[in-house]
Structure 1
Amino acid sequence: MVSWVTSAFVGFARACAVVAVVMLVPAVWAAAVALGIRWGAGNPWSWVAPCVLVCVGTLALSRPVCRAVRFLVRRWTATAVPSGYRRAEPVVRMSTGFWWNGFSYGRTRRDALLDQRWRIRWKDPATWRDLRFTVIAPCTAGVVAAVPPAGIAVAVLGFGRPTPVARLAGALGLAVAVAGAPYAWRLLRPVAVRFLGPLRTMALADRVDELTAQRADTTVAQAAEIRRIERDLHDGAQARLVGLGLSLATAEKLLATDPEQARALMREARVGAAASLTELRELVKGINPPVLNERGLVDAVRAFALDSPLETTVSADPELPRLDPPIESALYFGIAELLTNAVKHARADRARISLTRDGARIVVDVEDDGRGGAAEQAGGGLAGLRRRLTVFDGTLEITSPAGGPTRVRMMVPCASL
């Protein structure tokens, strides 16, 4: 009973909020019509002024109303409705002294920004989508959300009169308001998702921009990885192999005159060869661990956890199949990055890794008991991890309050699941 009363009160408040937002533009229309009627048919402004008021009021309120609707839907239902508005390009001053805003030149930065704002506003398809929504929403979500407030109004008027018919009407209005309050506002979400989301052309354009940025990030990451491999080879194994060659050449010359010194040099060369082999194996492991190719992501993560200085537990869905090699590699190095951060920065003692399946997505959760405070920074490891996952349409969620714990979730869609 208490939960129902709470739900009714919350629903009534939300219904009133929906009515106040989506009926704002129709209220302007009604005010314009009332103004024209008040001036009378003989006044030449009785039809011109209302039309101007309707057009200006609708254009001025359409975008704020749509932003308010998106906010309410996100706040109440955790459903994000993308805006899809065109982004303004940065205004750049040219060598001639004029300012370029992406469309035309302006004598001052203020003129260029003003011209850019109006051009984007009128040429943006989202502007016309917002205008369409301000017409559709009052006729759908607005009418349904107005039922509880209208019922309360009928109840107040009915109980204020002594006649039995009026009181019966008041009782019915109160019943309708209480019964419909928890549900009257819920139509706002499907209407907003259907009519307020970005147009297909804008979504495709944003997707093209996103893929272009991903390609650039991938190219930069590949170049950096190649430079790292070259540097490791040059400073490590290559230098040892050069030293090994010199030791063998010297031992060959001393073999006839000083066999003991030659044998000592050969022993050093053997140790150097073993060290070079170890470095090459570590380098190959950093490029693509053999256990990842042979046994898959789960076993590779378990092997990495055994070598980690943290007390790490790994749990995995027993029905998790082998994934595509690029996805397995991205997730493996992502987990390695997170555990390394837990050791170096969070000063953690224990970590937990979970690999599960969620429909056509693989979900990897990494949690440590460190001091928390992990934040994504430009050029940092977490930013690189996000870019690595974005290539596969994956997402990265970071929860790291001060004092810990740090929880990171990686989700990647995979066609093989």
Structure 2
Amino acid sequence: MRQPVSWVASACVGFVRACVVVVVAMLVPAVWAAAVVLWIWWWGGDPWSGIVPLLWACIGTLALSRPVCRMVRSLVAKWTGTVIPAGYRQAGPVTRMSTGYWWNGYSYERTDRDARQDQKMRIWWSDPATWRDLRFTGIAPVTVGVIAAVPPAGAAAAVLGLSQPALSARLAGVLGLVVAIAGAPYAWRAVEPVAVRFLRASPAMTMADRVDELTAQRADTTVAQAAEIRRIERDLHDGAQARLVALGLSLATAEKLMETNPDQARALMREARVGAATSLTELRDLVKGISPPVLNERGLVDAVRALGLDSPLEATVDADVQLRLDPPIESALYFGIAELLTNAAKHAHASRARISIARDDTAVIVDVEDNGRGGAGVNAGGGLDGLRRRLAAFDGTVEITSPAGGPTRVRMVVPCESL
């Protein structure tokens, strides 16, 4: 009994999916069919009357190609679990220059809006993924669309045939019903191999995108390193260096007063000792900010636990105590967790946080959850954007779930096959 029920369920689900595939695959042909109807209605013997329908069809095709391919990728991922990367090029930052013009990576524009529109059009026109989408919208109707149309066409033939009194029509209706039922579980499955074949980027395009990504990561790393060097220089100049200069002046004055005013000299030496202790503390804090000693000595887990103890939040850490990673990865994850705890306390007004550090066969996974007010997002140049760029250097990803009202959950995943 279970097998017939399973077959009926599979046929019903397959029939619905086949109908969805037909609708999605035939959207662009429907635009061209509408253009033909418009041309027939408009045509009055003038050969130029076909220009408007042709423009209608071309604009409709360009406008629908990307949404159609996004729907196909989404359906394939939902139905089969096969993820087809879109590979669309992302827009870079738009910067205002000292002259007042806006630079979008391609040209200078008078306003921010004009710069972004120009950038969007240039990226769309030069993106290989755009032409892949157009190619797929031309191939899908005659491949996926035709195959997926078999069950709906069989069902339509069954309805029309069985509603007629003639025996031949009824036989055709029964045949159509058999075709619809037999083909429903399989007709929609053609969408996966066709989509994978024509929507997935070629190896050369994938390599080019990877080169662009690594170039951007190198630029981000260079900028981050320069900013870090400036921060260290500023901290040294404004903190320890100023105190050490003052310490030298105090010792020089004390040396001069040693014979004439010993009490004043001793007071200056006491102040110098306090200044030396303060300078030492500042230097230790500076070194801790660059590379925490506990991170180098005891690893990521103990360093995060120490971070949780110093945090104003009630932080709990759940982790594998045996976890050891390469020092650059540990440093990136440590400072990422520190950034998230700071944001939770400063911006989300959270009181508790939970940190989970785990690993599987291919990656290390860090989850940070707080009970704050939520609403966190990635803003260009913000802390979360910097965290994403920092982990991208290791092919890592950051996933943020932060509905209004909370809680906020952030997952950092860094591939680490050498664990």
- Bin the TM-score by the shorter chain: 0.7 to 0.9
Residue by residue, what CA displacement relative to the aligned partner does 1:261-297 show, whole Å, maximum 9, x if unpaired? 3333322222222211111111000001111111211
Residue 5 (structure 1) shift = 7.3
Q: What is the aligned counterpart of 1:82 among 86, 106, 114?
A: 86
| Alpha carbons 1:392, 1:413 under 8 Å: kept | yes
Q: Equivalent residue for 2:100?
A: none
Q: Runs of 5+ in structure 1 lacking a partner?
A: 34-44, 91-100, 104-109
| Alpha carbons 1:66, 1:196 under 8 Å: kept | no
Residue 403 (structure 1) shift = 1.1
Q: Equivalent residue for 2:72?
A: 73
1:393 aligned onto 2:395: yes
1:247 aligned onto 2:250: yes
Tell me the distance in 2 between the aligned counterparts of 1:86 and 1:383.
Answer: 14
| Alpha carbons 1:366, 1:409 under 8 Å: kept | yes
Q: What is the aligned counterpart of 1:407 among 378, 400, 409?
A: 409
Q: Structure 1 102/233 Cα, relative in aligned 2: closer, same or farther at 3 Å?
A: closer
| Alpha carbons 2:69, 2:133 under 8 Å: kept | no
Residue by residue, what CA displacement relative to the aligned partner does 1:100-130 show, whole Å, maximum 9, x if unpaired? x979xxxxxx9xx99x979986x87657645
Tell me the distance in 1 between the aligned counterparts of 2:24 and 2:158.
Answer: 24
Q: Equivalent residue for 1:354?
A: 356
* Larger mean Cα displacement after TM superposition, 331-340 or 369-378: 369-378
Q: What is the aligned counterpart of 1:381 among 380, 383, 388?
A: 383
Tell me the distance in 1 between the aligned counterparts of 2:93 and 2:405.
Answer: 40
Q: Structure 1 117/293 Cα, relative in aligned 2: closer, same or farther at 3 Å?
A: closer
Look up the SS of the partner of 2:364 in the other structure: strand
Aligned counterparts, 1:321-332, within 5 A: 322-332=324-334
Residue by residue, what CA displacement relative to the aligned partner does 1:145-168 show, whole Å, maximum 9, x if unpaired? 123212312321342245777656
| Alpha carbons 2:11, 2:181 under 8 Å: kept | yes
Moved runs in structure 1, 4+ residues, more than 6 A? 1-7, 25-33, 55-61, 85-90, 116-120
Tell me the distance in 1 between the aligned counterparts of 2:142 and 2:178.
Answer: 23
Q: Structure 1 129/169 Cα, relative in aligned 2: closer, same or farther at 3 Å?
A: same
Tell me the distance in 1 between the aligned counterparts of 2:87 and 2:31.
Answer: 24
Tell me the distance in 2 between the aligned counterparts of 1:276 and 1:119.
Answer: 52
Tell me the distance in 2 between the aligned counterparts of 1:196 and 1:392.
Answer: 26
* Larger mean Cα displacement after TM superposition, 153-162 or 273-282: 153-162
Tell me the distance in 2 between the aligned counterparts of 1:81 and 1:383.
Answer: 21
Q: Equivalent residue for 1:315?
A: 318
Q: Equivalent residue for 2:230?
A: 227
Q: Equivalent residue for 1:96?
A: none
Letter paired with 2:371: D
| Alpha carbons 2:84, 2:200 under 8 Å: kept | no
Identity across the alignment (%) = 70
| Alpha carbons 2:313, 2:345 under 8 Å: kept | yes
* Larger mean Cα displacement after TM superposition, 276-285 or 140-149: 140-149
Tell me the distance in 2 between the aligned counterparts of 1:266 and 1:172.
Answer: 106
Residue 198 (structure 1) shift = 2.9
1:146 aligned onto 2:145: no
Q: Equivalent residue for 1:42?
A: none
Q: What is the aligned counterpart of 1:201 among 204, 207, 211?
A: 204
Tell me the distance in 2 between the aligned counterparts of 1:88 and 1:399.
Answer: 24
Q: Equivalent residue for 2:42?
A: none
Q: Equivalent residue for 1:337?
A: 339
Letter paired with 1:400: S
Letter paired with 1:398: I
Residue by residue, what CA displacement relative to the aligned partner does 1:1-26 show, whole Å, maximum 9, x if unpaired? 99987875554343223223434667
Letter paired with 1:363: I
Residue 351 (structure 1) shift = 0.3
Look up the SS of the partner of 2:315 in the other structure: strand
Residue 212 (structure 1) shift = 2.3
Residue 195 (structure 1) shift = 0.8
Q: Structure 1 354/119 Cα, relative in aligned 2: closer, same or farther at 3 Å?
A: closer
Letter paired with 1:192: A
Tell me the distance in 1 between the aligned counterparts of 2:275 and 2:411.
Answer: 42
Tell me the distance in 1 between the aligned counterparts of 2:268 and 2:123.
Answer: 78
1:295 aligned onto 2:294: no
Q: Structure 1 299/177 Cα, relative in aligned 2: closer, same or farther at 3 Å?
A: farther
- How many residue pairs get aligned? The number is 385
Look up the SS of the partner of 2:219 in the other structure: helix
Tell me the distance in 2 between the aligned counterparts of 1:177 and 1:412.
Answer: 47
Tell me the distance in 1 between the aligned counterparts of 2:142 and 2:229.
Answer: 60
Tell me the distance in 1 between the aligned counterparts of 2:365 and 2:266.
Answer: 56
Q: Equivalent residue for 1:305?
A: 308
| Alpha carbons 2:14, 2:185 under 8 Å: kept | yes
Tell me the distance in 2 between the aligned counterparts of 1:89 and 1:292.
Answer: 34
